[in-house]
Amino acid sequence: MTKHNFYAGPSILPDYTIEKTAEAVRDFAGTGISLMSISHRSKEFVAVMDEAQSLFKKLLNIPDGYSVLFLGGGASTQFAMVPFNLFSKKAAYLNTGAWSKKAIKEAKNFGEVDVVASSEDATFNYIPKDYKIPEDADYFHITTNNTIYGTEIKNDIDSPVPLVADMSSDILSRPVDISKYVLIYGGAQKNLAPAGVTFVIIRNDILGKVDRKIPTMLNYQTHIDKGSMFNTPPVLPVFAALQTLKWIDGRGGVEKMHEYNQQKAALLYDEIDRNSLFKGTVTNKEDRSIMNICFVMNDGAEDKEKAFLDFATERGMVGIKGHRSVGGFRASTYNALPIESVEALVQCMQDFENHNK
């Protein structure tokens, strides 16, 4: 049976990435040594790191004056690393979900945090629109895509203060005007690589403006100066990230990824809106994520949730159960998910509806 992988993360990666990484685990770059046993200081791996940084810059049209870092620690470490490096007097945050809340919690350890708006009052099922960014804030932090609740900020915000974004789950899924941000970060385990590496895109001149002493490993300048090689980097995930970047480049780049992702999302959202047994959880359609599509049983059909999950599982759908905090269903449609998997899920939903008329 064909398996259709809708896991939210770690999630589906391109077959190309998996195959090339598997080959390198056996024999990396013709060295006769496994990728898992190679020195990160070897010329072969240094070339991987250099190419990954260069291709990342190419695919996202990253301007001069920015650095691309590949670090450990996950996006959760970035929640503290951002204020360590950028917070002087006050920071502003937009609260759109669980990950925003965690970032806000860490920032509050450094001083005043202005939460300019929140959608927590409605279980984060929309993106707040009418809010004012304080012009005296050191930076404004947003989470562009919310995996648990299925909302997404799809446009690059015009901010009067330096803009910081957690793009863990939608990086490389759409074009981004990098020049509007001073820092973008994210865990790689959605659209880029296996868990274990974190990407950071940072404008170099934003650093060096805080008075506090920053621990060496939490100082972005440390990693910029050493090209992400201050300490041993996550070698295998960085190699896998390079393969994914090559795969995206070979398929026409981020613009083509965006077109494909929009097609997949439209196909599934259309079925959710049409099907009498299901309904979407995001109130405003313009806020619907194209990466994580969340839905529940329609009014009066709530008792069929487990039956549909079993029905879908029997037909090869994997990872569609919603996050434990919200229930329902979630189909993650990351770059590597083929449209055929979305078509299979749509057919499954239609068949279930027909069986329950």
User: Which residues, 6 or more positions from 201, have their beta carbon under 8 angstroms from its beta carbon?
Assistant: 56, 60, 62, 66, 67, 68, 69, 178, 181, 183, 184, 185
CA 158 to CA 328: how far, in whole Å? Answer: 34
- Cβ atoms of 311 and 348 within 8 Å: the answer is yes
3-class secondary structure, 183 = strand
Identify whether the C-beta of residue 11 lies closer than 8 Å to the C-beta of residue 5: yes
Dihedral angle of Cα 30, 36, 40, 44, to the nearest 10 degrees: 10
List CB contacts of 272: < 8 A, sequence separation 6 or more.
278, 279, 280, 293, 295, 349
How far CA 221 is from CA of 112, 200, 206, 230, in Å, comes to 24, 12, 10, 10
CA torsion, ordered 208, 212, 217, 221, to nearest 10 deg: 0
Q: Is 166 a catalytic residue?
A: yes
- Cα 331 to Cα 164, 219, 344: the distances in Å are 27, 36, 12
Whether the CB-CB separation of 318 and 4 falls below 8 Å is answered with: yes
- The count of other CB atoms within 10 Å of the CB of residue 256 is 14
190 is catalytic: yes
Catalytic residue chosen out of the listed positions 156, 170, 190, 246: 190
- Cis check for the bond before 160: say yes or no (omega within 30 of 0): no
Q: Which of 138, 156, 166, 287 is catalytic?
A: 166
Q: What span, in angstroms and rounded, lies between the C-alpha atoms of 42 and 47? A: 9
Residues catalogued as catalytic: 99, 166, 190
